[in-house]
Structure 1
Amino acid sequence: MNLRTRLTAWYGGVFLIAGAALIAINYFLTVAALPDAAGFAVAAAEPATPGLVQDRVFLIEEYRSDVLGTLLLWSVVALVAAAVLAVWLGWVVAGRVLEPLQSITATAHRLEAERLDQRIGLDGPDDELKELADTFDGMLDRLAGAFDSQKRFVANASHELRTPLAVQRTLIEVSMSGPESTPELERLGRHLLDANERSERLIDGLLQLARSDRGLATRSPVRLDQIVTDEIESCAYLAAERDVEVKSVVRRWVVEGDPVLLAQLVGNLLRNAILHNAPGGHVDVRVDGSLTVTNSGPVVPADAVPGLFEPFRRLRADRTGSTTGSGLGLSIVRSVVRAHQGVVRARPNGGGGLVVEVNLGETQVRQPL
């Protein structure tokens, strides 16, 4: 039972109690005001006319009974009718009273960590409800400021870290190509370049994650099918290197959003499906009202699927203990999907691998061409 129903029940119950008390008071006052048959018989007793007195007493008693019965009947009818009206009015009044609370609840439902731009902005007298709404808006202002500060820090730190990594890569490559280079130095250089590349991928992932977490400043029509085709071509070398076959069924489709972020979303899904696969495996891509990427590979436990969308969460490492990615691929996918007000779901694929489905939400421009 919701609060509005409970308030209506309280209004109706209070009215019934007050109405019943009013009927009882009115009944007893009427009883006191009507002629008393016993008193009349004592006052009018005459030895010569006993039959006349008895007739009058009977008439008075019948009159009292008829008046009280009619009064009680119509009082109950009026109470029932008024109770129905009171319940209806109580429902309406409760709705008006709770309307600010419904506005607060609706705003809270629309909020996410990446969408803190919603405000209640309640108008009206300075009562307790307006104070609650203003307090809620103030809290959202502080949260939005904190999240923006955190995202700016991540973005700025990622930008600052890219410069020294580029310098390190150049120094390593120069040392490896120098005349005094030895096999041991080249082997060490390759390890350092691998570590440098992993660091660059991590920083690039953090940049994309910070950018998508800030949401979309502008939107434009984007050919999602074309982006999928381009990303499949760009991942062809990686798929051939890993001995993974990529098959696609792509329907021409237009979505509204950011083309760079959508390309990052598709690319991350494809690279994740190829890297976490087995030699001779396959990746199936389908665009038909939604984007679905299915890959073969190791068996993925169902309880491990939700954690794959968390940053730096990996299912397993290879024999050397290193990983094939930065652990941000699916985190970026989820962040980009949320920035486009969409939904991403994943489930284990029968026989091994993962099925990831992306729905970007219906818009006016999301129509097949």
Structure 2
Amino acid sequence: MRVLLRLTLLYSVMFLVSGAVLLALTYFLVTQSGAGVSMSSFNTSPSGDQSFSNIFVGDGTPEGVPLTETERRLIEAARLGAAQQHAEFGHQLLVKSGIALAIMSVISAVLGWLVASRVLRPLRTMTDSIQLISARNVHERLAFTGPRDELRALADTVDGLLGRLETALDSHKRFVANAAHELRTPLTLEHALLEEAIIDPDATVESYRERFADLVVVSEQQAKLLESLLVLATSERGLDRPEPVDLSELVGNVLRAAEPRACKQNLTIGEWVRPARVTGDAALVERLVANLVDNAMSYNIPDGRVEVVTGVTGDGCFVAVTNTGPPVPPEMVDRLLHPFQRLQRTAGDGHHGLGLSIVQTIALAHSAELSVRARSEGGLAIRVDFPAERQPAISG
């Protein structure tokens, strides 16, 4: 049933009930006012002489005056006539009031329809405007004008939702474009290597082996990119089964796995790890730490340093990673948190600019706060503050 019809019926029923109550009260008061007192005034006797002038109360008997039989009959007839007149008056009042109530019920239904239409007109306008908004014109807004009432608050809420949707769509478009660009490069390289092997008339087994080795490297880069995209999508979805996680244990695992690379790059790793328990997804948190360490080692200087710290604060736990490296302009710090953004784009370095964006997404999934600061001496200082550990809910 439409809202307009429901509101019309509601207004009509409210008027009908209130009118019926008012009619009942009026009828009750009018009938009761004539039941206790019957008034008859006689100025002259039947013979023409002024014999009495009294008010008869209750059953019509005059007070303190001896009555003849004829006078008693006259008084009784007057009383019966007054009672019949009063009953007829009550009946006429009830009938005419009922007719008036029926007429006003019809009028109230028409007025209720008009009033409901006027009240719902802004909603219909907003509905028509929302139906015209699509992905092509999501920038449009309702721009509802009027008093700051519930309808204005609803329109402002819808405008805010459209703004967030526009931002999300723009971000999605940029992400898809960047992902397509990143995937196009290795595919083009693969095609070029295969085409070169096919059209080379002097190709040998060794040349084929070299090209196949290059294809393996390109394939590994594609696999890393797809894995990063999958982790990014998984972390944006949120947490499935949060569980207690020890940051110090995860940091230890990541640093042990990074030792061969640190030795190869001649990097020094400083470790100040204290027990720090958080609630979250262990795999995602470990990926967060691994991306921070990988970013600190990848964008470093020869004989550089990486420092990893975990600890407990009054509001929760934290993990911080600091590295030496080339100077980072402060205005570039926020851009590095977006997908496919790198300080210096180097072909074939195996990095696609997804490391810090994955860190930010995982931090948001864990309600953690990510802070990135460019160090004056070069490199970045990155810290992730996790909220205090929450006790898991016990089902059953």
- The 2-side partners of 1:227 and 1:333 are apart by 15
Please list, as runs of the form range in 1=range in 2, the aligned pairs for 1:199-238 lying within 5 A after superposition: 199-238=222-261
2:330 equivalent to 1:307: no
Describe the shift of the 1:281–1:140 C-alpha distance in structure 2 as closer, same or farther (beyond 3 A). same
SS of residue in 2 equivalent to 1:269: helix
- The 1-side partners of 2:337 and 2:354 are apart by 8
Does the CA-based 8 Å contact 2:336-2:356 persist in structure 1? Answer: yes
Does the CA-based 8 Å contact 1:254-1:365 persist in structure 2? Answer: no
- The 2-side partners of 1:224 and 1:181 are apart by 52
Does the CA-based 8 Å contact 2:244-2:389 persist in structure 1? Answer: no
The one-letter code sitting in structure 2 at the alignment partner of 1:360 is F
**Alpha-carbon deviation of 1:191?**
2.2
> Which of 208, 214, 221 is residue 198 of structure 1 equivalent to?
221
Does the CA-based 8 Å contact 1:255-1:365 persist in structure 2? Answer: no
- 1:344 corresponding residue in structure 2: 370
The one-letter code sitting in structure 1 at the alignment partner of 2:349 is T
Identical aligned residues as a percent:
31
The one-letter code sitting in structure 1 at the alignment partner of 2:319 is L
2:293 equivalent to 1:265: no
- 1:361 corresponding residue in structure 2: 387
2:330 equivalent to 1:330: no
**Alpha-carbon deviation of 1:237?**
2.0
Describe the shift of the 1:344–1:338 C-alpha distance in structure 2 as closer, same or farther (beyond 3 A). same
**Alpha-carbon deviation of 1:139?**
7.5
The one-letter code sitting in structure 2 at the alignment partner of 1:333 is V
Offset from partner CA, 1:90-134 (integer Å, 9 cap, x none): xxxxxxxxxxxxxxxxxxxxxxxxxxxxxxxxxxxxx98444565
In the superposition, the TM-score normalised over structure 2's length comes to 0.48
- 1:294 corresponding residue in structure 2: 322
What RMSD, in angstroms, separates the aligned Cα atoms of the two structures? 3.6
Does the CA-based 8 Å contact 2:326-2:379 persist in structure 1? Answer: yes
Does the CA-based 8 Å contact 2:338-2:357 persist in structure 1? Answer: yes
- The 1-side partners of 2:391 and 2:296 are apart by 29
> Which of 153, 170, 182 is residue 205 of structure 2 equivalent to?
182
**Alpha-carbon deviation of 1:187?**
2.3
Offset from partner CA, 1:210-236 (integer Å, 9 cap, x none): 111112233111111111111111122
The one-letter code sitting in structure 2 at the alignment partner of 1:221 is P
Does the CA-based 8 Å contact 2:236-2:365 persist in structure 1? Answer: yes
Describe the shift of the 1:129–1:234 C-alpha distance in structure 2 as closer, same or farther (beyond 3 A). farther
- 2:136 corresponding residue in structure 1: none
Does the CA-based 8 Å contact 2:370-2:382 persist in structure 1? Answer: yes
The one-letter code sitting in structure 1 at the alignment partner of 2:251 is V
SS of residue in 2 equivalent to 1:338: helix
- The 2-side partners of 1:203 and 1:296 are apart by 29
The one-letter code sitting in structure 1 at the alignment partner of 2:377 is G
Q: Which has the higher helix share?
A: 1
- The 1-side partners of 2:300 and 2:264 are apart by 12
Offset from partner CA, 1:48-97 (integer Å, 9 cap, x none): xxxxxxxxxxxxxxxxxxxxxxxxxxxxxxxxxxxxxxxxxxxxxxxxxx
**Alpha-carbon deviation of 1:284?**
0.4
Describe the shift of the 1:323–1:129 C-alpha distance in structure 2 as closer, same or farther (beyond 3 A). farther
2:263 equivalent to 1:240: yes
Please list, as runs of the form range in 1=range in 2, the aligned pairs for 1:36-75 lying within 5 A after superposition: none
How many residues are aligned here? 221
- The 1-side partners of 2:383 and 2:253 are apart by 19
Indicate the structure (1 or 2) with the bigger Cα radius of gyration: 2
Q: Where do 5+ consecutive residues of structure 1 fail to align?
A: 1-126
In the superposition, the TM-score normalised over structure 1's length comes to 0.52
SS of residue in 1 equivalent to 2:215: helix
**Alpha-carbon deviation of 1:272?**
0.7
SS of residue in 2 equivalent to 1:322: coil
- 1:10 corresponding residue in structure 2: none
The one-letter code sitting in structure 1 at the alignment partner of 2:360 is R
- The 1-side partners of 2:321 and 2:260 are apart by 18
Does the CA-based 8 Å contact 1:268-1:333 persist in structure 2? Answer: yes
SS of residue in 2 equivalent to 1:221: strand
Does the CA-based 8 Å contact 2:245-2:282 persist in structure 1? Answer: yes
SS of residue in 2 equivalent to 1:311: coil
The one-letter code sitting in structure 2 at the alignment partner of 1:256 is T
- The 1-side partners of 2:263 and 2:391 are apart by 36
- The 2-side partners of 1:253 and 1:181 are apart by 58
- The 1-side partners of 2:381 and 2:283 are apart by 23
- The 1-side partners of 2:290 and 2:353 are apart by 14
Does the CA-based 8 Å contact 2:277-2:389 persist in structure 1? Answer: no
Please list, as runs of the form range in 1=range in 2, the aligned pairs for 1:5-44 lying within 5 A after superposition: none
Does the CA-based 8 Å contact 2:245-2:277 persist in structure 1? Answer: yes
Q: Where do 5+ consecutive residues of structure 2 fail to align?
A: 1-146, 198-202, 313-317
The one-letter code sitting in structure 1 at the alignment partner of 2:371 is R
- The 1-side partners of 2:159 and 2:365 are apart by 22
